[in-house]
């Protein structure tokens, strides 16, 4: 096993031992960041913006530390509300986050956050898509400059829009899709191989994602937008 493979295996084993319902300790987070810093120089794709197809696909979040104090202290599976997840564009209905994905497409430049949710009493499931597109930064071949510009809430069990609103405690006339002015954000892909991606975010956070061999939930909608 190469040094890169050994370092990667250590990170994956470390994350597999974490309880997704419990906030990672500061000590463990520091240890994870130390292991990541060891792995980053061994990335097989040092300039991902110049090899965009290698970053494309469906990625499941194994760890996310957003950096901003208001959103940093959350475990992978946690209780929050739609307003917080949607940049304030949907009502503050209580939801439980069960999985977070990113879905990237090199042709359309889609860069979507896809958040799988249970409603407050866990009787129904939904998916919140934060729609974004990326552009290249000519001075930094690791950087994806991302403009998130809309959110949409979807059912996963064949619900009608009215049923989805009722299940998630929304008023009957609540829009399930809203556009907004894109905030200026960026994320650097500092490590990338066939099945692991590590990003350093513009707000000093860091993210570990594993490629998922499953259909994209959001990319068809982004291509049509």
pLDDT digits (tens, 9 = 90+) for 57-72: 999 999 998 765 545 5
Q: Please give the helix or strand (H or E) that residue 179 lies within, else none.
A: strand 177-179
What residue ranges do the domains of the chain occupy?
3-214
pLDDT in the model for residue 224: 45
Burial class (CB in 10 A: 0-12, 13-18, 19+), 81: middle
CA-based torsion, 68, 70, 76, 90: positive or negative: negative
Cβ(28)–Cβ(15) below 8 Å = no
Point out the residues of the chain with pLDDT beneath 50: 70, 222-225
Cα atoms found within 13 Å of the Cα of residue 45, Cβ hemisphere only:
24
pLDDT in the model for residue 82: 97
Q: Which two tokens stand for residue 37?
A: 């810093």
Q: Which two tokens stand for residue 206?
A: 């860091």
CATH number for the domain running over 3-214: 2.40.128.280
pLDDT in the model for residue 221: 53
pLDDT in the model for residue 200: 96
pLDDT in tens, 192-224: 999 999 999 987 899 999 999 889 999 875 444
């Amino acid at each position: 096993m190469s040094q890169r493979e050994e370092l990667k295996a250590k990170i994956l084993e470390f994350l597999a031992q974490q309880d997704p319902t419990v906030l990672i300790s500061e000590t463990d987070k520091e240890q994870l960041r130390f292991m990541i810093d060891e792995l980053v120089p061994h990335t097989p794709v040092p300039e991902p913006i110049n090899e965009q197809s290698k970053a494309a696909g469906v990625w499941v979040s194994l760890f996310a530390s957003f950096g901003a104090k208001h959103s940093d202290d959350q475990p992978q599976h946690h209780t929050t509300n739609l307003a917080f997840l949607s940049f304030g564009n949907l009502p503050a209905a209580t939801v439980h986050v069960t999985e977070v994905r990113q879905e990237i497409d090199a042709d359309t430049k889609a860069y979507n956050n896809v958040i799988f949710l249970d409603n407050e009493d866990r009787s129904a499931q939904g998916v919140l898509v934060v729609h974004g597109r990326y552009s290249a930064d000519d001075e930094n071949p690791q950087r994806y400059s991302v403009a998130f510009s809309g959110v949409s809430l979807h059912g996963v069990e064949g619900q009608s829009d009215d049923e989805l609103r009722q299940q998630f405690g929304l008023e009957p006339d609540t829009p399930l899709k809203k556009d907004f002015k894109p905030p200026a954000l960026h994320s650097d892909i500092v490590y990338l191989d066939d099945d692991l991606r590590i990003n350093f975010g513009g707000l000093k956070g860091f993210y570990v994602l594993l490629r998922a061999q499953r259909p994209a939930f959001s990319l068809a909608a982004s291509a049509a937008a």
